[in-house]
Amino acid sequence: MIPELGHFSLVLAFVLSLVQAVVPLVGASRNRSALMAVGRPAAQGQFFFVAFSFACLTWAFITSDFSVEYVALHSNTATPLYYRITGVWGSHEGSLLLWALVLAVWTVAVTVFSRHLPDVFLARVLGVLGCISVGFLAFLLVTSNPFERLLPGAPEGRDLNPLLQDPGMIIHPPLLYMGYVGFSVAFAFAIAALLSGRMDAAWARWSRPWTTVAWVFLTAGITVGSGWAYYELGWGGWWFWDPVENASFMPWLLGTALIHSLAVTEKRGAFRSWTVLLAIGAFSLSLLGTFLVRSGVITSVHAFATDPKRGLFILFLLVVVIGVSLLLYAWRAPRLSGGGSFAFVSRETALLGNNVLLSVASASVLLGTLYPLFLDALGMGKISVGPPYFEAVFVPLMTPVVVLMMFGPFLRWKGDSLGPALRRVAPAFVASIAVGVGAAFAIGHATPRTMLGLALAAWVVLASAQQLVARLGERPGAASAARLRGIPSAWWGMWLAHLGVGIFIIGVTLVGSLNQSLDVKMREGQRAELAGYSFVFRGVQDAAGPNYDASRATLDVSRGGVAIATLHPEKRLYRAQGMPMTEAAIDIGPFRDVYVSLGEQLPDASWIVSLYYKPFISWIWLGCALMALGGIFAASDRRYRKLAERSAPAAAARQAA
Amino acid sequence: MKAKFLVPLFLFLGLAGFLAFGLTLNPREVPSPLIDKPAPAFTLARVDDPAQQFSLADMRGKVWLLNVWASWCVACRQEHPVLVDLARRNLVPVVGLNYKEVRGDGQLDARGMALDAETGLAVERARRWLGEHGNPYVLSVLDIDGRVGIDFGVYGVPETFLIDGNGKIRYKHIGPITPENLQQVILPKVEEVRRAG
């Protein structure tokens, strides 16, 4: 009964999304406020029914209702409750339902937080979001109904993929989807602006907090996913350039370009058509990511559902959504040229430079991801593109991004003279090269890659410090606390996020250079040494989990005779799927992780143990966390609330002049 | 409508065309022209004793699997427990073709390495890997330069060929073998070939 209610409620949500898609858009084009007003209640109703439907599916999981096929395939009575709940989005149908729910959440957020938007504009935004909902709800109902019954019901379920039975998986997909789908709001704002032909500073200001919040979620989602890969896959790596990872990274790169481009459009009225194109692009890449993950055109270690019929449906959706918006762009964008003019040496140029570089980086990831498909389609054979390509392309593209990123804030808007600006940054720039080269020699790893990485990181840190000092010096006389408070939170956002990039580079560089690992055969009482740490193997016990049996090893880790940690890596066999899993044990420290994973048992009762020493790896995630925190600061700037109350068109006219 | 603003649309439509075509392809399956043809003959040195040779003809009269592997191949690690389990159950003999052990490893630079040194290194690496992960193979042979792999049309590791008593390839599995693949496809095929032969 409950699953049928869930299904029915999904149908109702679909009907409401049709209303939400059509009525407000018609109302906006005919200027009928009664029709436009339908958008808000339709969106809220749609959210209610999608959420109810989601709750029904969750209920089926909690109660282990194996007469629902999806539940029977992805849950088990022995699965712990929290993994039964996360099992809801453990596979294709449920994750699409999550997609639809997240879209509904964003739409409702727009209806709640955009009271100040002009009615016509809001109606168009809701209409566009409604169109996307129609597409995804139809996709769910037609090809991927999660409530499909399995009659007679299965006596026991097949359990969730053990890889996904992990705390990281509880939050990774929702965060990632909040990010992916969140770009739909920026997209809807851009399309609404194209439809109305009004793309001004006000439009940019309205979209900015939405875009930044979506970007924060995406950053957090990718970070958690990378952390999950690090400790769950047991290879000690944190990024594999896998097509599915790339699918989330491409919208992130373009989204990063978009938030910067929106800043220029808001402050200076420039880059308008470029900003619109980025907004369309970021969401298009999110959709493309969904297509790549869900259709199986690209092989990946993540190999999820692969069903060509579903692939065809998403492709159709992709062509309609992206095709129509790009057509609209081609039609309307030519009117957008102009805007604030700026000199060659100006903050605008620096931002434009980074925009272009980030877009090229995004395109190169796309090329690398789809290249096997291109060659295959052209009958030129089957190949795979791996990390060497991405690393070779990425380092040269990102180096100027990082240099410009710290140089840009020293430049004035509109125009600056190069000489004084260069003189301002020259000491920090020279010092960072010296620090980079010196530090590389100091750690005994003087390769060009290490020097470059450390110099870039030093540049970020030194320039950040210089920016902070300069900013504090802007109001001489005031008490330093007042000066700190006087800095707008948007500025702190930029500063933190940029500093986060520096911290991230330190982590990536050092873990790449100083990482050590050892695969060793160990029996009880044996000792192994790695990077100054000793590991004593204390044997393996059997341990039973709720839905798995494990061999649990004990290793004492010490350094210089001082005990540091006792680690328990496990080898698990999940009963329902008969799938072996490696559960690594990690001693996390601020400057290094010690990572142990348990391999096979050998006939002579010894075990293969993989030991890893990973210096500064936490800095990778610390850097990402700072970027996300920066985004939160930027989005919470008071300006958005204050300016929202002012009459937007007046501000727009002023800005465009 | 200025032409330059149509560029993104055309780029996207081109991409969509490729994606549509991509849906008709299966990235995991490459049709092998070798099915039901005699397996390419080879004679290669054995991993356990490089002084000894093994050739295709040695298996005449048996139905067996030729599994292409290498210690640098991550997916091989994934399928390896399945092979170890298969060997324990003694259902069908598996011969390992160790493919480009040294020069296939992206982390090593094998250019300029003498063949002897390369063979020595390959033997050492292959043995260590089998020692660590278990050895499911009746024996493994060394395809140092990958020439036999090319004859067999290997494009990715792991791959597994089912060869009948007359030395004909009867089935090819691409990618890691999962327990399901083994139970539902490969073992039934082995039975079928045995009954037919």
The three-state (H, E, C) secondary structure of chain B, written as one string: CCHHHHHHHHHHHHHHHHHHHHHCCCCCCCCCCCCCCECCCCEEEECCCCCCEEEHHHHCCCCEEEEEECCCCHHHHHHHHHHHHHHHHCCCCEEEEEECCCCCCCCCCCCCCCHHHHHHHHHHHHHHHHHHHCCCCCEEEEECCCHHHHHCCCCCCCEEEEECCCCEEEEEEECCCCHHHHHHHHHHHHHHHHHHC
Please tell me the predicted confidence (pLDDT) of residue A110.
Answer: 94
Is the CB of B25 less than 8 angstroms away from the CB of A334? no
The pLDDT tens digits for A403-445 are: 999 998 888 888 888 888 899 899 999 999 999 999 999 998 8
Please tell me the predicted confidence (pLDDT) of residue A153.
Answer: 80
Residues A566 and A591 in one domain: yes
Q: Is residue A441 domain-resident? A: no
Please tell me the predicted confidence (pLDDT) of residue A304.
Answer: 42
Is the CB of A333 less than 8 angstroms away from the CB of B134? no
DSSP characters over A210-228: HHHHHHHHHHHHHHHHHHH
Among residues A377, A410, A443, which one ends one of the domains? A410
HSE-CB for B191 with a 13 A CA cutoff: 7
- Asked if pLDDT for residue A301 goes beyond 90, the answer is no
The label of the residue with tokens 């439907």 reads A53
Residues A132 and A186 in one domain: no
Q: Sign (positive/negative) of CA torsion A177, A180, A182, A188?
A: negative
Among residues A351, A384, A410, which one ends one of the domains? A410
The label of the residue with tokens 């992960």 reads B133
Residue B14 near chain A (CB below 8 Å): no
Residues A97 and A176 in one domain: no
Q: Determine the average pLDDT of the residues in A567-587.
A: 84
Residues A66 and A199 in one domain: no
Residue B156 near chain A (CB below 8 Å): yes
- Asked if pLDDT for residue A338 goes beyond 70, the answer is no
Domains of chain B: 35-196 (3.40.30.10)
Please tell me the predicted confidence (pLDDT) of residue A307.
Answer: 60
Residues A10 and A24 in one domain: yes
Number of domains chain A is built from? 3
The pLDDT tens digits for B107-149 are: 666 666 788 888 888 998 999 999 888 899 999 999 988 889 8
Chain A: give the shortest CA distance to residue B1, in Å. 5
Q: Is residue A370 domain-resident? A: yes
The pLDDT tens digits for A220-250 are: 999 999 998 888 876 778 888 888 888 999 9
Q: Is residue A645 domain-resident? A: no
Q: Flag whether the pTM goes above 0.90.
A: no
Selected residues 102-121 of chain B with any CB under 8 Å from a CB in chain A: 106
Among residues A125, A142, A160, which one ends one of the domains? A160
Is the CB of B27 less than 8 angstroms away from the CB of A386? no
- Residues from chain A that touch B27, judged by Cβ atoms under 8 A, are 296-299, 372-373, 376, 382
Residues A401 and A529 in one domain: no
Q: Determine the average pLDDT of the residues in A599-625.
A: 88
If you ran DSSP here, which 8-state letter would residue A426 be given? H
B69 pLDDT band, cuts 50/70/90, is very high
Q: Which two tokens stand for residue A575?
A: 């009963």
Selected residues 33-72 of chain B with any CB under 8 Å from a CB in chain A: none
A315 pLDDT band, cuts 50/70/90, is confident
Q: Determine the average pLDDT of the residues in A300-308.
A: 49
CB–CB contacts below 8 A, A to B = 96
Give the residue with greater pLDDT, B150 vs A140: A140
Residues A349 and A264 in one domain: yes
Within 8 A by CB and 6+ apart from A650, the residues are none
Taking the C-alpha atoms of residue A12 and residue A23, their distance in angstroms, rounded to an integer, is 16
The pLDDT tens digits for A339-358 are: 667 888 889 899 999 999 99
- Residues from chain A that touch B153, judged by Cβ atoms under 8 A, are none
Burial category of A433 from C-beta neighbours within 10 Å (exposed 0-12, middle 13-18, buried 19 and up): middle
Please tell me the predicted confidence (pLDDT) of residue A652.
Answer: 45
Burial category of B107 from C-beta neighbours within 10 Å (exposed 0-12, middle 13-18, buried 19 and up): exposed
- Residue to mutate among A326, A367, A518, with most B CBs inside 10 A, is A326
- Residue to mutate among B132, B135, B157, B159, with most A CBs inside 10 A, is B132
The pLDDT tens digits for A477-529 are: 677 777 777 888 999 999 999 999 999 999 999 998 898 988 888 988 899 99
Residues A184 and A312 in one domain: yes
Residues A220 and A349 in one domain: yes
Q: Is residue A494 domain-resident? A: no
Q: Is residue A588 domain-resident? A: yes
Give the residue with greater pLDDT, A481 vs A194: A194
- In chain B, whose CA is at the least distance from the CA of A235? B74
If you ran DSSP here, which 8-state letter would residue A68 be given? B
Taking the C-alpha atoms of residue A454 and residue A506, their distance in angstroms, rounded to an integer, is 6
- In chain A, whose CA is at the least distance from the CA of B132? A608
What are the CA-CA distances from residue A180 to residues A58, A445, A447, A603 (Å)?
22, 39, 37, 48
- Asked if pLDDT for residue A643 goes beyond 60, the answer is no
Domain that holds residue A132: 1-160
- Asked if pLDDT for residue A323 goes beyond 50, the answer is yes
Is the CB of B2 less than 8 angstroms away from the CB of A334? yes
- Residues from chain B that touch A323, judged by Cβ atoms under 8 A, are 9, 12-13, 16
Residues A342 and A383 in one domain: yes
- Residues from chain A that touch B131, judged by Cβ atoms under 8 A, are 521, 602
What are the CA-CA distances from residue A548 to residues A152, A164, A477 (Å)?
27, 14, 66
Chain B: give the shortest CA distance to residue A608, in Å. 6
Q: Is residue A169 domain-resident? A: yes
Q: What share of chain A is helix, strand, coil (3-state, %, to 5)?
A: 65, 10, 20
Q: What is the dihedral of CA A326, A331, A333, A336, to 10 degrees?
A: -160
The pLDDT tens digits for A353-392 are: 999 999 999 999 999 988 888 887 787 776 777 788 898 8
Max Cα-Cα span within chain A: 82
Is the CB of B5 less than 8 angstroms away from the CB of A235? no
The pLDDT tens digits for A515-570 are: 898 888 898 889 999 989 999 999 899 888 888 888 899 999 999 889 999 999 99
The pLDDT tens digits for A56-106 are: 999 999 999 999 989 988 888 888 898 999 889 888 889 899 999 999 999
Pick from A339, A212, A225, A234: which is nearest to A289 by CA? A225
Q: Determine the average pLDDT of the residues in A204-216.
A: 94
Residues A256 and A137 in one domain: no
Residue B15 near chain A (CB below 8 Å): yes
Residues A152 and A215 in one domain: no
Picking from B21, B132, B155, the nearest residue to A599 by CB comes out as B132
- As a whole number of Å, the CA-based R_g of chain A is 27
Q: Is residue A570 domain-resident? A: yes
Please report, rounded to a whole number, the percentage of residues in chain A having pLDDT higher than 90: 53
A276 pLDDT band, cuts 50/70/90, is very high
Q: Is residue A48 domain-resident? A: yes
Mean pLDDT of chain A: 88
Picking from B9, B24, B28, the nearest residue to A326 by CB comes out as B9
Is the CB of B12 less than 8 angstroms away from the CB of A308? no
